[in-house]
Structure formats: structure tokens, C-alpha cells
Amino acid sequence: VVGRTVEGTLKFYYKTPRAVDRTQYALASGFAEFLSTQLAIHELEVQKELTARAEVRALQAQINPHFLYNSLNSIRWMALMTNNTKIADSLVTLSKVIMPILRNPAFTWKLKDEIEFLKNYTEMMQIRYGNYMEYHVDCKPCLQEEVFPRFILQPVIENCFVHGGSTTEVREIFIRIRKTENENFFIEVQNTGVRLDGCKIAEINQAMQKPGKDGSHIGLSNIYKRLKLLYGEKGNVWMESDSGG
């Protein structure tokens, strides 16, 4: 027995029941106790090793973001030395996007952190795709201290740029965040652009619940699964299209 777990059974065989006297019983009990002690020591050594490995992983996780940040900062200074301010500014924005991802593995953070992350992410996407997408957030200040799932809106914003962007006209992204009477968050993300027909909308909504083999709609499916895992039936995501696109 190790702790409260039975690891095995030690059996002794004697020719007759009378052969088991107090001495034999004491020897068998002592031998069993000795084996249990050895197993317990081994279990402690295994746990100690696992704990040490976990500590190493934690320390390594601290080093990796620091190393990446320093590397990006070094490249930024190289860009500044060659008067390439656009690359330098891009690296600053990229650092602001990457660091929250690596720094904290928690599932949630405050809503204000999500909004700040989306602001930095949008700036990065504007650099990538050009400043043809304007970004607006409508959220009451009193909500921004609320607990909110991390990075839950990033795939939607990415889709707005990738599928709803334009190089010929300015388009807009609107994010409206409010709470319902049941104290649940209700978030709308709307972007101006080409209107999707009903069949395409139905296809996307279905694919979110089960992503296709071609890897399509992975981002939206990721949001759907995370909301279900975190909030059960209260969590959901779907797509609609209105006459404005």
C-alpha cells in the first residue's frame, strides 16, 4: 500500500497453517512494510522529478517571451538605424500583439485587456492590408472591468480584413459590446462590404460547429468551441447578413 492506493499483493506460501507462527508473521509483515516504504520513496522521487520539470517549463515560458521581445526590439533598432520607420513602427505594434499571447496562459482576462489587444491587432492588420479599414468600438466603461474570454474576437476581426477588406474604398468594422438582462455578454461585430447570400451564411454557420476537412473556418470554429467549453449553452456565435453587407 502506497498512501491510500493498493499497488499489489505480496503472498507467502507455507506447507501447513501451523507453520505460520508469530515469527513468520512478523517477518512477512516486516517484509511487506519494507516493500511499501520502497515504493513510497520511489513515488516521491517521481513526483519530485515531475515538479522539477514543471518548474523548468515555467521558467522556460518566462524566458521565451523575454527573448522574443528582445529580438524584436533589436530588429526595430536596426530598422531605425537605416531610417526605415515603417518597419520599426510595425515591430512595436507586433510586440504589443504577441506579448499578451505569450505572457499569460489564462482563459480569461478583463474586457479592457481584450479591447486593448484588438486595438493593437487592428493596427497591425492595417499595416498589412493598408489603411482602408476603419475600426470602432462601442462599449460602456463600466463593462470594461468585467471578466472576458481572451482572444475571442480576434478571428472575427481577422476575417473582416481578409474577406471584407478593399483596396479601393474605405470600409469599417463596428464592435458593439453590451450585457443582456440575464447579465450575459452580447457582442456584435459588423463590417461594411460585400453582402453574403443566405446559402453562404448557412454554410458558414454550419461549418463553425464542424470545420471542413480543407481547414476552412478554423478561426470561427475555435471561437464556437471555446465558448461552449467555457460557458456551455450560454455561449454561442453565429453569422448574419443584412442589406448593407
Averaged over successive runs of 10 residues, the pLDDT of the chain (245 residues) comes to: 61 72 74 75 78 63 57 73 80 82 80 93 81 87 94 88 74 92 92 82 85 66 88 90 60
pLDDT on residue 139: 96
Cβ-based neighbour number of residue 167 at 10 Å = 7
| Exposure string for 136-163, b = 16+ CB within 10 A, e = fewer | eeebeeebbebebbbbbbbbbbebbbee
Q: How far, in Å, CA of 148 to CA of 107, rounded?
A: 9
3-class secondary-structure state, position 196: coil
Contact 107, 149 (CB under 8 A): yes
pLDDT on residue 204: 86
Cβ-based neighbour number of residue 165 at 10 Å = 20
pLDDT on residue 213: 54
Distances (CA, A) of 142 to 147, 171, 235, 240: 12, 29, 22, 28
pLDDT on residue 245: 44
Q: Decide: pTM greater than 0.85.
A: no
H or E stretch covering 119: helix 111-129
Nearest to 189 by CA among 225, 164, 217, 215: 164
Nearest to 150 by CA among 217, 100, 95, 211: 100
